[in-house]
Amino acid sequence: MPRVVVKTSSYDYKQLKPNIHSLLEEFVGSAVSPGKVIVIKPNFLAPATPESAILTNPFVVRAVVEYVLEKGAKPVIADSQAVGSFSRILKTGGFATALEGLDVEFREFRRSVLVDIGEPFGKIEMAADALEADVLINLPKLKTHCQMLLTLGVKNLFGCIVGLRKPEWHLRAGVDRDMFARLLVQIYAVVKPSVTILDGILAMQGQGPGRSGKPRELNVLMASDNALALDMAVCRMFGLGPDELPTNRMASKMGLVPEYHIEGQLPQIDDFRLPLMIPLVFGPRRFHKFLRKYVTQRPVVKAALCRSCGECSKYCPAKAITPEKNCVVFDYDKCIRCYCCIEVCPHGALETKDTLAGKAFRKMFKS
């Protein structure tokens, strides 16, 4: 039966390092050995400081790297960021400084291999480094996510889809929450990290996963060899039902939900602010285009915050955003309401807004 181990911790390195090392020893102690390649997969969404709680804390990553080095194995820190350059993430996120002097390789996931993750998705291109690692250590950040409620152990592995393939998958699956959840669960089932250690010391609540979310100290580290079990334990910590997280719900439908037990004291946090979930398309398929255009919330720009950096338009899978001199303009006929732009805007300048028809619909159907 999978175990979820819970520890109280701060980022004070004297406390953090032994906590991380004991979690690693429990779950991968015998697998991390001389000559092995250990791929460490943090959350590298976009360039962001540690205080913003968007990325896995650099000292959590350092503690893992030191453990791997002490065991004589080769640590590789790898991810495929959603926005910005990999080198900027290392600098802004404090990774370059925190890991200075350690014999570690930073590697952006670039090389992909075709892997059959099962119906209905079939073969998809995934990061070869993640799949070929002797041991994969998954290091998610505990954050809210306005499409998927929370981004935890399972969702963190979406980064194993390489670079620009991610928005393509958002385009294909991201407008249907259950389909997207299924994609995430199937990716997890194939990638299967050896251990997942969740950084919930400084978590994010509110409208995550980007800058619209708010940091919140929870002082929790959790680890498990089963990321689904870990995600379920987090939901229990917040008083959420087992089916409220879309990936848990989908895993349950697929018969993948594990029995698990918790070791350590799981805190009860009843006032964690969850995001207002962005409604996705609903109703009969033939009405989807109409509903998407007139009923679902639209991405809109807060002009005062927009710095015209162009990240949103680069990432938009539908090419629905045109950068203008001081702002951006949306083509709502093209926009598929995947909300990737909101996720990647580095300045928190985008939000969703109800249409009049959408407000009326939601009132009618209380959605």
Which positions lie near ligand SF4, rule CB under 6 A? Answer: 299, 301, 306-312, 316, 318, 320-321, 323, 328, 330, 335-341, 345, 347, 349-350
Least distance to ligand SF4, CB of residue 209, Å: 15
Least distance to ligand SF4, CB of residue 147, Å: 10
122, with CB counted inside 10 A (0-12, 13-18, 19+), is exposed
Closer to ligand SF4 at the Cβ: 189 or 309?
309
Least distance to ligand SF4, CB of residue 190, Å: 26
Least distance to ligand SF4, CB of residue 122, Å: 24
CA distance 177 to 281: 9
Alpha helices in the chain, H assignment, sequence order: 13-28, 58-70, 86-92, 95-98, 128-132, 165-173, 177-191, 227-237, 246-253, 288-294, 311-315, 340-344, 356-365
Dihedral (CA of 250, 252, 253, 256) sign: positive
CA distance 89 to 348: 17
Closer to ligand SF4 at the Cβ: 77 or 320?
320
Question: Could you tell me the two tokens for 117?
Answer: 């993750």
Least distance to ligand SF4, CB of residue 272, Å: 26
Nearest in space to 314 (alpha carbons), one of 278, 350, 344, 347: 344
CA distance 108 to 119: 28
Closer to ligand SF4 at the Cβ: 240 or 305?
305
Nearest in space to 198 (alpha carbons), one of 268, 138, 155: 138
DSSP letters for 6-26: EEE--S-HHHHHHHHHHHHHH
Rg of the chain in Å (alpha carbons): 20
Closer to ligand SF4 at the Cβ: 232 or 291?
291
Least distance to ligand SF4, CB of residue 6, Å: 36
Least distance to ligand SF4, CB of residue 340, Å: 4
Phi-psi region at 272: left, alpha or beta (left = phi > 0; alpha = psi -120 to 50):
beta
Closer to ligand SF4 at the Cβ: 60 or 83?
83
Least distance to ligand SF4, CB of residue 280, Å: 11
CA distance 208 to 226: 24
Question: Could you tell me the two tokens for 354?
Answer: 């109800």
Closer to ligand SF4 at the Cβ: 248 or 296?
296
Closer to ligand SF4 at the Cβ: 273 or 293?
293
Closer to ligand SF4 at the Cβ: 277 or 309?
309
